[in-house]
Each structure stands twice: as C-alpha cells, then as structure tokens.
C-alpha cells in the first residue's frame, strides 16, 4: 500500500467504485453536490475564528478537555464520521504514524466522532491509536463548529442498504446526521490556524500537509 494518505485514499476510491452499486453511488454523489451548494463548508468555523470549547468523554468515558492541551502547544482536531467508515480509518492510521513528528513540533492530536464511547474504544483498538479519541454524542461540539448536516431520505435509504443505523451508532435515536470530515489546527490562544472543511468525505487533507502548517508556524516564531 502507498505511503501517503492521499495515495491510499486514491487507491481506495478506485476500488470503492467497483464495490458500491451504481445507484447508491449516484445518490451519494448527488448528496455531496447538495452539501457543496448548501455552503456548509464556508459557514463552518474557519481560519481566524476562535475554536469552540471542547470537553468530551474519551474512549474510556473520562471527561477530556481539549483546551487543556493548548498550554503545551497547538492541537490538531480531526472530526471523523465513525469507525464504520473506511476512509476515516485510513486517515486515523495515517495520523497515528505521524504522531512522533507532531509531538516533536510541540503539538497534540485528538479525534472526534459522534459515536458512543464504546464504539470509540473499538475504533482506537482496531487502528492501534495512542492519541485521544473523543465521543461527541448529540454532536454538540460538531454543531458548535458548524459541521453537522442532516441526511436526505435518499441518503438514509443508501445507509439502510449498507445496514448502517447511524442514530443507533451515535446513541441519538431518530437523528440521521453526521459531521463533515473536517480537520482543524487550534493555536495556543484558541485561534484556528488551519481548517479543512471539505464536503466530500472520500477526500481528506493529507496529514503531511497539516504537519507542514505546523512547521511553518514553528518557523515563524
């Protein structure tokens, strides 16, 4: 398998086209276009904004305050859809591989999903993650960042076809919604200095690009 996340995702997308039935792909493509037209990628928190407070349970149910990490340096916060999402798992593993380099720059990393804590435990174990994985049940933090979108009935039917009950996964009965797969870098004063809020979950900013933004920050100090 290729070394960079961008290359891994490209390979996976090529295979995804062959696995997912054409009608489901068309529905998902239409929904991505709908999200792009909605403007959510621009109305979500962006560079220069102050990051909302993030206090969430970790994989063990213990309350974790992300802002407490800022005393030591910037924090990368990546929102992922859930451990059921193969694109997300590739991204999480790519960040884990770069964790020593992130730490060497004085930065920290946390991941956030709307899944229940029990599922974040499974995601951490499956991907051998050593950074905090937080559970945003009810998506209060995701909403504070402006990242949460509702499913259309058509998209819901696609996920039904995959036997994916999103409200059940997220411990939120009747709530068919997810966050954009967004990544932020929050500086020590709480200001967002990097933001990726793409509406297409199949594409992610390569962690190497996030690392480069941290390196530029360090060089400018």
Which residue is it, tokens 């009935």?
153
The pLDDT tens digits for 64-90 are 999 999 999 999 999 999 999 999 999
Tell me how far apart the alpha carbons of residues 3 and 13 are, in angstroms, rounded to a whole number. Answer: 16
Tell me how far apart the alpha carbons of residues 45 and 107 are, in angstroms, rounded to a whole number. Answer: 20
pLDDT at 1: 47
pLDDT at 2: 61
pLDDT at 219: 79
Superfamily of domain 5-220: Glutaredoxin (3.40.30.10)
The pLDDT tens digits for 152-199 are 999 999 999 999 999 999 999 999 999 999 999 999 999 999 999 999
Strands (E), the chain: 55-57, 63-65, 75-79, 108-113, 133-135, 148-150, 177-179, 183-186, 192-196
Q: How many residues does the chain have?
A: 221
* pTM score: 0.94
CA angle 111–117–122, rounded 5-degree value:
80
Tell me how far apart the alpha carbons of residues 199 and 44 are, in angstroms, rounded to a whole number. Answer: 11
CA angle 134–96–36, rounded 5-degree value:
65
Nearest to 218 by CA among 195, 193, 190, 197: 193
Question: What mean pLDDT do residues 4-17 have?
Answer: 88
Measured between alpha carbons, how far apart are the two ends of the chain, in Å? 37
């Amino acid at each position: 398998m290729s070394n960079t996340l961008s290359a891994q995702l490209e390979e996976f997308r090529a295979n995804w086209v062959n696995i997912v039935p054409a009608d489901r792909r068309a529905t998902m493509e239409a929904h991505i276009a709908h999200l792009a037209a909605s403007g959510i990628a621009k109305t979500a928190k962006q560079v220069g904004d102050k990051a909302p407070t993030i206090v969430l349970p970790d994989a063990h149910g213990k309350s974790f305050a992300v802002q407490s990490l800022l005393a030591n340096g910037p924090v990368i916060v990546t929102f992922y859809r859930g451990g059921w999402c193969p694109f997300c798992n590739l991204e999480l593993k790519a960040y884990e591989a770069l964790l020593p380099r992130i730490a060497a720059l004085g930065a920290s990393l946390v991941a956030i999903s709307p899944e229940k804590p029990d599922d974040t435990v499974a995601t951490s174990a499956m991907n051998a993650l050593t950074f905090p994985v937080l559970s945003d049940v009810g998506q209060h933090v995701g909403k504070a960042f402006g990242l949460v979108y509702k499913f259309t009935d058509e998209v819901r039917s696609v996920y039904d076809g995959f036997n994916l009950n999103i409200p059940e996964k997220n411990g939120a009965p009747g709530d068919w919604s997810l966050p954009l797969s967004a990544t932020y870098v929050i500086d020590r004063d709480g200001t967002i200095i990097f933001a990726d809020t793409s509406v297409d979950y199949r594409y992610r900013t390569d962690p190497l690009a996030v690392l480069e933004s941290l390196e530029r920050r360090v060089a400018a100090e």
